[in-house]
């Protein structure tokens, strides 16, 4: 830290802009100079240039059996920050509705699904708007027996994750270079032990939490009777919305879920809780949920943008914006909520 103090302000600002915003509270306590830089308009200007996130929501209308993509945009009709969901003319189909989804850059990868073997990959390029078939994995397996995620821009699929006596297979896909599926080496698997977690959305309503240890996912905890409705990661912190527990974050040191609060207020949602979806958005947590039915067999879609701050080992949330972003048919439900760079 002493070497940081010897650097010019513009260099320190370029370092701070790459630090998760939730850590600024702790950084402000180090010195008056750092507190001044954290609060400076220049840092916020640099962050606005750094972050170029776009949120994509995939919606299914059960009555019309149709699918629709939306993206979150700032409204240009007002001088204050207002947001709205804008329909997108992107490819949609039943085959990707239940797929496991990951994002690398501007591309969305749909892996397997209830209607497709896990080895089948589809890739949506959000810039060109094209949906293409990707290279198949080496080993086919069912959707329920695999965990899918991205580490250092590489896509990993861990199959037979939850069986203690089953052989585990880890395949990795490098979208930037080889663009082929390969079996992960033992060294690579060991390097993931501190980076990989998984959650089980079991029908028994037990939210199992797993940690990769010794090349295998091992159960570390479960939240009985209250499985998560949705999960996402923001600035390396895992968040989940539980049916009865509400919005929570996972404390890896205590190996336990903790409610996300702002001051003394618990962050709760009003409306339908069974279809909450969320993702990161410019370093914030963006939460979407349907409100109650309104006239004309329609319902409002609410959005809440929450800034995150770390104070010691605790994560706090501050509601930056909350409001209605769209009106959709009552029979509609959200299937995917993704952040694309």
- What's 151's domain CATH number? 2.120.10.80
116 and 231 inside one domain: no
Domain membership of residue 66 (yes or no) is no
214 and 234 inside one domain: no
Domain membership of residue 246 (yes or no) is yes
Instruction: For 125, list phi and psi in degrees, rounded to 5.
Output: -90, 110
In this structure, are residues 110 and 91 in contact, taking their beta carbons and an 8 Å threshold? no
Supply the pLDDT for residue 88.
92
Mean pLDDT, the chain, integer: 80
Entry pTM: 0.79
Choosing from 202, 225, 248, the residue where a domain stops is: 225
Domain membership of residue 64 (yes or no) is no
**Total of domains in the chain:** 3
Domain membership of residue 107 (yes or no) is yes
% of the chain exceeding 70 in pLDDT: 77
- Tell whether the model's pLDDT for residue 67 goes beyond 90: yes
Q: What mean pLDDT do residues 37-63 have?
A: 80
214 and 270 inside one domain: no
184 and 173 inside one domain: yes
34 and 7 inside one domain: yes
Supply the pLDDT for residue 286.
95
Q: What mean pLDDT do residues 278-287 have?
A: 92
Q: Range of 260's domain?
A: 226-341
- Tell whether the model's pLDDT for residue 120 goes beyond 90: no
- Tell whether the model's pLDDT for residue 163 goes beyond 50: no
Supply the pLDDT for residue 143.
47
214 and 104 inside one domain: yes
Q: What mean pLDDT do residues 280-289 have?
A: 91
98 and 220 inside one domain: yes
In this structure, are residues 304 and 262 in contact, taking their beta carbons and an 8 Å threshold? no
212 and 97 inside one domain: yes
- Tell whether the model's pLDDT for residue 27 goes beyond 90: no
Q: What mean pLDDT do residues 17-23 have?
A: 70
Supply the pLDDT for residue 256.
83
Domain membership of residue 84 (yes or no) is no
Domain membership of residue 261 (yes or no) is yes
Domain membership of residue 56 (yes or no) is no
% of the chain exceeding 90 in pLDDT: 24
185 and 260 inside one domain: no
Between 34 and 196, the higher pLDDT residue: 34
Supply the pLDDT for residue 309.
87
Supply the pLDDT for residue 197.
74
- Say how many C-beta atoms besides its own lie within 10 A of residue 5's C-beta: 11
118 and 26 inside one domain: no
Q: Dump pLDDT digits (tens) for 206-229.
A: 456 666 665 566 666 665 556 788
Strand partners, 248: 240, 259
Supply the pLDDT for residue 165.
47
User: Among 24-33, 46-55, 285-294, whose mean pLDDT is lowest?
Assistant: 46-55
Choosing from 225, 243, 262, the residue where a domain stops is: 225
Strand partners, 330: none
100 and 190 inside one domain: yes
Distance from first CA to last CA of the chain, Å, rounded?
A: 31
204 and 285 inside one domain: no
Supply the pLDDT for residue 164.
46
Domain membership of residue 311 (yes or no) is yes
- Say how many C-beta atoms besides its own lie within 10 A of residue 99's C-beta: 25
- Tell whether the model's pLDDT for residue 264 goes beyond 60: no
């Amino acid at each position: 830290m002493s070497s940081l103090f010897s650097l010019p302000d513009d260099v320190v600002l370029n370092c701070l802009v790459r630090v998760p915003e939730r850590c600024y509270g702790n950084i402000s306590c180090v010195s008056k100079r750092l507190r001044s830089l954290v609060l400076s308009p220049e840092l916020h200007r640099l962050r606005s240039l750094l972050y170029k996130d776009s949120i994509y929501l995939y919606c299914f209308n059960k009555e019309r059996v149709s699918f629709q993509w939306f993206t979150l945009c700032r409204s240009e009709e007002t001088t204050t920050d207002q947001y709205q969901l804008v329909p997108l003319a992107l490819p949609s189909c039943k085959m990707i509705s239940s797929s496991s989804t990951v994002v690398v850059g501007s591309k969305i990868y749909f892996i397997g699904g209830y209607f497709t073997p896990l080895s089948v990959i589809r890739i949506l390029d959000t810039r060109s708007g094209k949906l293409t078939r990707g290279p198949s994995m080496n080993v086919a397996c069912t959707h329920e027996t695999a965990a899918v995620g991205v580490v250092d821009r590489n896509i990993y699929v861990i199959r037979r994750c939850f069986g203690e006596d089953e052989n585990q297979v880890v395949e990795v896909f490098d979208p930037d270079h080889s663009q082929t599926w390969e079996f992960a080496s033992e060294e690579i698997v060991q390097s993931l032990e501190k980076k990989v977690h998984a959650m089980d959305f079991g029908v028994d309503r037990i939210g199992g939490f797993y940690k990769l240890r010794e090349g295998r996912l091992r159960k570390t905890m479960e939240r009985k009777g209250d499985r998560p409705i949705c999960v996402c990661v923001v600035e390396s912190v895992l968040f989940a919305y539980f049916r009865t527990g509400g919005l929570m974050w996972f404390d890896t040191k205590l190996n336990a879920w903790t409610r996300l609060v702002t001051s003394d207020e618990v962050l709760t949602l009003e409306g339908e809780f069974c279809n909450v979806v969320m993702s990161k958005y410019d370093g914030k947590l963006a939460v979407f949920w349907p409100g109650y039915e309104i006239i004309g067999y329609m319902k409002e879609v609410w959005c809440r943008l929450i800034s995150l701050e770390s104070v010691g080992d605790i994560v706090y949330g501050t509601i930056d914006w909350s409001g209605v972003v769209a009106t959709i048919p009552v029979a509609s439900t959200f299937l995917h909520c993704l952040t694309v760079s």
